[in-house]
Chain A
């Protein structure tokens, strides 16, 4: 008896595809999946990169394909969705909590545009203090900024908010 794969099973499986640069977050946590379609015994997944120049895109695409094919035993195609662009507000609340526990400050919820002002007083993921300042808008990967905490004297990274 053959089992018919459901959309819910596809999403569950996508939760097992982790970001190579932040291994505690899945592509679902990051809000990188923009659509899943099932047709004629195949799954079609649409995804978006966080930053346009993210070097991990083809790696992630491939991970989605192999993970889903292994777990669901079904043909999978993955394409980059050009209609939708990634914004940090797509990240789930649970993802932000995981990010903080991983030692990276999560992006603040954006109500408007990114400005120099909103990049100040980002809560330190280590001690929670807001006595912090932006040291550089660029960090070890395109999606991270570097901050400094005056309370605990530590440098920390933040996943940047993106409009």
Chain B
């Protein structure tokens, strides 16, 4: 029997990251620097929120969790398990793009690692999501390489964006000490430390092609806290805005 509390914890982390990143992506709707980017971030928002919904449904249907909409919108801030990376405001396009690159590569690694998961619902979903994520990483890789080769100012800004996001992104791999061993033991997934290693191997070749310098691994101090419910000042206002319509009438039918 797989440890249910540990699986729930893992799925909530994944779903909350998708939900919050999806919401941040949607904030580019109408504001993208060119039309195609406006559409790209809006499409990725739709994908992310759809993936979050699929994960909340697994919680609901397989693990006795609450209704997905209520769970997504009605929790107090400290019950969210999203990482600090996804909570950060969009900032300038270079910041958003670098976050998108680091986040989507991390998600890809995570879902790839679940292709053989012992937890069936997660295994089935991960096969679907993995294929869709190809387009997210295709998009991210292309722009990171293109903008890093688009002149001195552009290169400088991309390097700065990488410097600003790398420790936050490393925080995506914050393990839950009380559950991690069980998840690895039960073969749900290979564990955060292993995913972190695979992620560094995956982002490195793209950064090399872009001539960007990945800071020394030992110098990266991952920003933890989100997985414990300790958040930045940016999450609460986002949750308030995100749930505003839902809260007008939580019982309304759509």
Contacts and interface: CB of A to CB of B under 8 A. Distances in A.
Q: Do A and B come from one complex?
A: yes
Interface of A: 51-55, 82-83, 85-87, 113-116, 119, 135-140, 142, 145-146, 160, 162-163
A53 B127 contact: no
Interface in B103-159: 121, 124-125, 127-132, 134-135, 138-139, 141-142
Nearest to A137: B135
24 contacts: A51-B47, A52-B50, A52-B125, A52-B129, A52-B132, A53-B47, A53-B51, A55-B46, A83-B124, A86-B128, A87-B131, A114-B134, A116-B138, A116-B141, A119-B138, A138-B42, A138-B43, A138-B139, A139-B39, A142-B43, A142-B46, A162-B132, A163-B130, A163-B131
B50 A53 contact: yes
B86 interface: no
Interface residues on B, range: 20 to 34
Contacts of B201: none
Per DSSP, chain B at the interface is helix
Contacts of B36: 135-136, 138, 146
Contacts of B44: 138
Interface of B: 36-37, 39-40, 42-44, 46-51, 53-54, 121, 124-125, 127-132, 134-135, 138-139, 141-142
A83 B39 CA distance: 31
A52 B54 contact: yes
A137 B40 contact: yes
A116 B144 CA distance: 14
B121 to A, nearest CB: 8
| Residue from the set B37, B40, B128, B141 with the largest chain A CB neighbour count within 10 Å | B128
Contacts of A139: 39, 43
Contacts of A114: 131, 134-135, 138
A142 B134 contact: no
Give the top 6 A-B pairs by smallest Cβ distance, nearest first.
Answer: A53-B50, A163-B131, A138-B43, A136-B36, A85-B128, A138-B40
Contact of A137 (B49, B124, B127, B138): B138
Contacts of B132: 51-52, 162
A86 B43 CA distance: 18
A119 B47 CA distance: 20
A83 B37 CA distance: 34
A43 B129 CA distance: 30
A105 to B, nearest CB: 16
B124 A82 contact: yes
B47 A136 contact: no
B40 A85 contact: no
Contact of A163 (B40, B49, B134, B142): B134
A142 B47 contact: yes
B148 to A, nearest CB: 16
Given A52-B50, A85-B124, A136 B39 contact: yes
